[in-house]
Amino acid sequence: MTVPPLVRGWCPDMFAPMEARDGYLVRIRSPLGGFEGQQVLAIAELARRFGNGVVELTNRGNVQLRGFSSTSAKLALESALAEGLVDPDPAKERRRAILVSPLAGLDPACNPETLDVAQSLQTALLEENALSALSGKFGWAVDGGGYVPEGTLSADIALQSRPDGWSVVCGAMETGVLDNARAVRAAVVMSRICAENSDLGRPSRDADTAAFVLAKGGLEGIPCKPQGTRPVSLIGPLPGKVMGVGVPFGRCHAKDFEILAELAGTSRLRITPWRSVLLPQQDGTWPGFITSSVDPLLRVEACIGRAGCAKATADVVGTALALASDVPPGCVLHVSGCIKGCAHPRAADMTLVADDGHYEVVRNGRTTDTPSWHGRDIPQIRALLRHELKETQV
């Protein structure tokens, strides 16, 4: 088997590990309906045997493993292929980047055809070899609405449920309502146009791209309605006789991941974009996991920090833990080790960017936005949280 060379600075997967301070990291994309129990156990074994044992849940609903050497990453790929965790074709594997409503097929209010449409879209994308030219960060979504409202899932191209069909959302524009087959075809056409025009920015990042893509594809488009930005937390009892269990900062050990497989039983383990997993409803408490929807840890986001990232300059997890109880319900504090903002690419009520022992502080923005305050320490940030975010709640 020929193994592609290791890649630095790319959106990582099993074929393209990314180098970090604690070794190479890899990602495994979730199947459309979630991981089977045996697959969860296989992932835990990959983390323990070839990496440093850390299992992370990403904001695309995938799994990330850390601490690989260049040799062990190649061995892990061979094992992942044998377990059916990845597609044997690296290009097709990248085209499996489809985010699906986490409660699809469970929530009665979610479009009942969501999983079928997602499967049709994936099949169509895998057949389009020209889409290999797309950025590895390019992603799709099938958003069936319901308990998790339409527009909550983030993607470059998304199929959003409507009362009479689906609209295809491309950046800030969307088509009219289409039936299942036409919506899938429209999404593929838009994707092909993005692939053929490499100078275009991704639709989710470039406002001009969407208008060009729809016009080029002969599709009528209208501006999307503004979407709500309320935090989403799938924790506790949920529709469909399931429950959400949170993983603090989306990070656990392989043994904890195995516990989740045992709790899932014969059901598939679904990973949400909000660093939680869906399990059959059951009684019990599990130390180390979040089971209450009002847990303060749900109000903070943090990357691995300097423990695993060469660009980070602070123990951001420690900072987030110290400040979590100061963040009011309904608000989000993002603590980032560097300006990349990997843990929470969207705007937060307050964003902290580590800067040699202190933090730059952004109000209502992202890591790349202009800071409102400079060089703040934890006591000063605590005071800002209590003043600024308390005012938000009034």
Is residue 226 very low, low, confident or very high in pLDDT (cuts 50, 70, 90)? low
Mean pLDDT, rounded, for 222-235: 73
Give residue 380's domain range: 296-393
- 33 and 81 within one domain: yes
Residue 90: half-sphere exposure toward Cβ, Cα within 13 Å: 18
Q: In the predicted model, is pLDDT for residue 73 greater than 50? A: yes
* Structure tokens belonging to residue 218: 């002969």
Residue 356: its pLDDT value, please? 87
Any domain includes 3:
no
Mean pLDDT, rounded, for 335-358: 93
Count the neighbouring beta carbons within 10 Å of the beta carbon of residue 262: 11
Any domain includes 5:
no
Any domain includes 8:
no
Domain count of the fold of the chain: 3
Residue 208: its pLDDT value, please? 87
Q: In the predicted model, is pLDDT for residue 9 greater than 50? A: no
- 166 and 213 within one domain: yes
Q: How far apart are CA 119 and CA 202, in angstroms?
A: 23
- 110 and 84 within one domain: no
Which CA distances in Å does 67 have to 71, 197, 256, 309, 315? 12, 36, 17, 11, 18
pTM of the full predicted structure? 0.91
* Structure tokens belonging to residue 392: 């938000």
Of 255, 280, 277, residue with least CA distance to 266: 280
- 190 and 123 within one domain: yes
Residue 326 belongs to domain with CATH number: 3.30.413.10
> Nearest 5 degrees, angle CA 180-CA 139-CA 78?
110
- 127 and 78 within one domain: no
Residue 357: its pLDDT value, please? 87
- 271 and 338 within one domain: no
Of 56, 131, 46, 51, residue with least CA distance to 97: 131
Q: In the predicted model, is pLDDT for residue 5 greater than 60? A: no
Residue 1: its pLDDT value, please? 35
- Specify whether the CB–CB gap between 153 and 177 falls below 8 A: no
Is residue 304 very low, low, confident or very high in pLDDT (cuts 50, 70, 90)? very high
Q: How far apart are CA 198 and CA 202, in angstroms?
A: 10
Of 229, 224, 170, residue with least CA distance to 202: 170
- 312 and 389 within one domain: yes
Provide φ and ψ at 62, rounded to 5°: -110, 180
Average pLDDT, the chain: 92
Which CA distances in Å does 223 have to 151, 153, 190, 292? 13, 17, 16, 37
Residue 225: its pLDDT value, please? 77
- 154 and 73 within one domain: no
Which CA distances in Å does 8 have to 64, 70, 217, 321, 336? 16, 12, 34, 30, 21
Sorted by sequence, the CB contacts under 8 Å of residue 157 that are 6+ apart come out as 140, 141, 168, 169, 170, 187, 190, 191, 203
Provide φ and ψ at 193, rounded to 5°: -65, -40
- What digits encode the pLDDT tens for the residues 348-388? 999 999 998 899 999 999 999 999 999 999 999 999 999 99
Count the neighbouring beta carbons within 10 Å of the beta carbon of residue 87: 18
- 173 and 124 within one domain: yes
- 117 and 214 within one domain: yes
- 109 and 195 within one domain: yes
Any domain includes 290:
no
Residue 10: its pLDDT value, please? 63
- Specify whether the CB–CB gap between 15 and 56 falls below 8 A: no
Q: How far apart are CA 321 and CA 22, in angstroms?
A: 22
- 112 and 83 within one domain: no
Kindly tell me the sign of the dihedral angle through the C-alpha atoms of 340, 26, 96, 113. negative
Which CA distances in Å does 182 have to 190, 220, 342, 393? 12, 13, 34, 44
- Provide the H-helix boundaries in 148-307: 180-196, 207-216, 254-264
Residue 37 belongs to domain with CATH number: 3.90.480.10
Q: How far apart are CA 104 and CA 73, in angstroms?
A: 33
Mean pLDDT, rounded, for 112-140: 96
Q: Which of 10-14, 55-59, 82-86, 210-214 has the lowest mean pLDDT?
A: 10-14
Any domain includes 342:
yes
- What digits encode the pLDDT tens for the residues 102-114? 999 999 999 999 9
